[in-house]
Amino acid sequence: MELLRSNLSHVRIPGPTNRVYKHECCVSFDTPESDGGLFVDMCSFLAFGKDYVGWNYEKTKHPVYLHIKRTVKPVSEDRPSKKPTLLAIGVDGGFDNNEPEYEEIFNIVVLPDYVSLPFPSVELPEKVRLAVDKIRSVEGAERKEQVAAWVADKKKQSDYALKLVQLDNGVVVPPTGWKCAKCDKTENLWLNLTDGMILCGRRNFDGSGGNNHAVEHYEATRYPLAVKLGTITSELETADVYSYPEDDSVEDPLLAQHLAHFGIEFTALQKTEMTTAEMELDQNTNFDWNRIQESGEDLELLFGPGYTGLANLGNSCYMAATMQVLFSTRSFCSRYFVNQSLKEAFDIAIADPAVDLNMQLTKLAHGMLSGKYSLPATEKQEGIRPRMFKSVIAANHPEFSTMRQQDALEFFLHFFDQVEKVHAQNSSNTWIVDPSTSFKFGIEERIQCPSGKVAYNQRRDCILSLNIPLHRATNKGELEAFEKLKAERHAEGKELSNEEIVRPRVHLKDCLECFSGPEEVHDYYSTALKSKTTAIRTAGLTSFPDYLVLHMRKFVLEAGWVPKKLDVYVDVPDIIDLSFMRSSGRQPGEELLPEADDEDMSPPNADETIVAQLASMGFSHIRCQKAAINTNNVGVEEAMNWLFAHMDDPGTFLQTLYWQKTSPFFFRPCNFVDALDGL
């Protein structure tokens, strides 16, 4: 106890602005359920597993920690099952969903000798007791950031809040002991901010929840706003306020005043209920995906190094698919797993390891590749939850910081951009190799105008975007027969079965040949002819990467400029010869187009016809202009393809092929990602 008292200067009571980590280690995926439990630094509020807390003590000299150990409560096998009285799962009276119950044990631990003091204990200094109580009661930073991402679209201020009329009916709401005024419900209770009625919430589709008394009260009285009891704390902005006429969770800027009307002192209340956003997050992250995947298949569970799954964080399949593929490549595996230990990443982290991208990438690599979190097949495979990594990589990004569905290609490009920035900042460390360089390659475009003169343009890229030439389908006969059958069934008013549908099959080599083959460029300004003309464009690769990422453009324009997603198969061989794509460079005897003079150097103008047609499809005017300029005003289809390859919005289809180099010109597919909307 004297040792603890001598270190009280290293104990802080967390305030409203402090992030408290208590669910997961900052440098590993250890949790309170892990064998060694979790140690929360009572000064910085960072959490560490048993094998890593010593590193934090060496680096910060913070000696006092709250140790949290959570164990599953044993359940008697011969315990009789209760007969359900409700058509619901996991609620009192409903069916048992077999969710385990946990027992938590807390201790105060002082390093470096790991002196342990039990908590709770009246002998502990008051500052320590207050700090532990606050750590236990506040929402963990991991959970808080996840919920914040789920409601990243800021709640709008209710139109009814500022002009809300509250009845002077003498109602005083007690701080505890709430119960629905019309039934026996004591959870999921809502306080109507007009008359102070406490009523239960809506009934869920599975029978759980409330009895609809709060919404029925609104329908009878039209009193618009209600706040969920149990979500009101000193952090008033986290309270769950619902507007019935607006049918949404809203912000009430006068909530403190509205609560005071009924005698509620919000600073003294503690959180006891989940908000609507938290409930939605739980439903999404805990959904059993096995119900809808591999139906009826007897699959063998894999485990061990390299076979660790990434748990769903809520519409995070685009991230999981991309990271699983990247960490199957030699470059990323070497950079963040083989050549960098967790200790090295922690030591060079400048400040908070929870927000350091290098630390979180190393943590993710070791979590996925070490096998530590991939259990034998006889046990339940939980996988790992890359919450801290997602929080860091998506920080301040308008789309990836949300829980909405996203495009894997957009995430791939954003991820590479962030990795490049980190390595640029550490350019003095020559031993650190940027793993994204193994995906980089050179593209050279050759343009020849009718004068016979040519121009060469070169650029670096990390993806090769390919059109799919349907006219080169290898099953044209089957397609013709299918179209006849489709017309017959349509005339009869019948639908085709899935087994009868025939899709075009296009060979990957045909897609690659279309990229490098000759293509007409209309309205090309020739500096030799001093006028617009039709030029011929060809393209090739000046270098080959270790891993080639192919983006298949599955959107085309139909009549009326309506974008359509192609339903097509791309046949991919095990080995493909890419030598035909190698750029030959400037040839002897070729004459280059003259340099542009001042008149030619005037800013390019977008073809307003192309811009107008794209804008009519819902794209912003500025992006339509950019698409037209970047495709040299060739046409609407080319500009549309450019938009789909560079758009910032979610929801585009990505089919990515990763190819591992086996010789200078031969690649073999080593992995495949099919990131579909709503995977």
- Pick out the residues of the known binding site for substrate: 190, 202-205, 242, 244, 247
Measured between alpha carbons, how far is 454 from 541 in angstroms, rounded to an integer? Answer: 17
Measured between alpha carbons, how far is 368 from 309 in angstroms, rounded to an integer? Answer: 7
- H or E element at residue 276: helix 276-285
CB count in 10 Å sphere of residue 72: 10
Measured between alpha carbons, how far is 531 from 37 in angstroms, rounded to an integer? Answer: 74
Which residue(s) pair with 565 in the sheet? 555
Q: Which residue, 441, 645, 672, is CA-closest to 572?
A: 672
Which residues contribute to the annotated binding site for Zn(2+)? Answer: 180, 183, 200, 213
Q: Are strands 555-558 and 569-571 parallel, antiparallel or unpaired?
A: unpaired
Measured between alpha carbons, how far is 492 from 155 in angstroms, rounded to an integer? Answer: 51
Measured between alpha carbons, how far is 425 from 565 in angstroms, rounded to an integer? Answer: 40
Q: Are strands 555-558 and 562-565 parallel, antiparallel or unpaired?
A: antiparallel
Measured between alpha carbons, how far is 465 from 473 in angstroms, rounded to an integer? Answer: 19
Measured between alpha carbons, how far is 650 from 56 in angstroms, rounded to an integer? Answer: 39
Which residues contribute to the annotated binding site? Answer: 180, 183, 190, 200, 202-205, 213, 242, 244, 247
Measured between alpha carbons, how far is 558 from 637 in angstroms, rounded to an integer? Answer: 9
The shares of helix, strand and coil residues in the chain, as percent rounded to the nearest 5, are: 30, 20, 50
Measured between alpha carbons, how far is 273 from 186 in angstroms, rounded to an integer? Answer: 11
Measured between alpha carbons, how far is 654 from 553 in angstroms, rounded to an integer? Answer: 8
Q: Using H for helix, E for strand and C for coil, what is the string for 97-152?
A: CCCCCEEEEEEEEECCCCEEEEECCCCCCHHHHHHHHHHHHCCCHHHHHHHHHHCC
Contacts of 550 (CB under 8 A, 6+ apart): 463, 464, 465, 466, 508, 511, 656, 657, 659
Dihedral over alpha carbons 656, 662, 666, 672 (to 10 degrees): -20
Structure-token pair, residue 506: 């296009």
User: Given the structure tokens 């440098």, which residue do they identify?
Assistant: 27
User: Given the structure tokens 């010869």, which residue do they identify?
Assistant: 577
Measured between alpha carbons, how far is 278 from 234 in angstroms, rounded to an integer? Answer: 18
Measured between alpha carbons, how far is 418 from 413 in angstroms, rounded to an integer? Answer: 9
Contacts 24+ apart (CB under 8 A), 179-186: 180/210, 180/211, 180/213, 181/213, 182/211, 182/213, 183/211, 183/213, 185/210, 185/211, 185/213
Q: Which residue, 52, 675, 113, 129, is CA-closest to 411?
A: 675
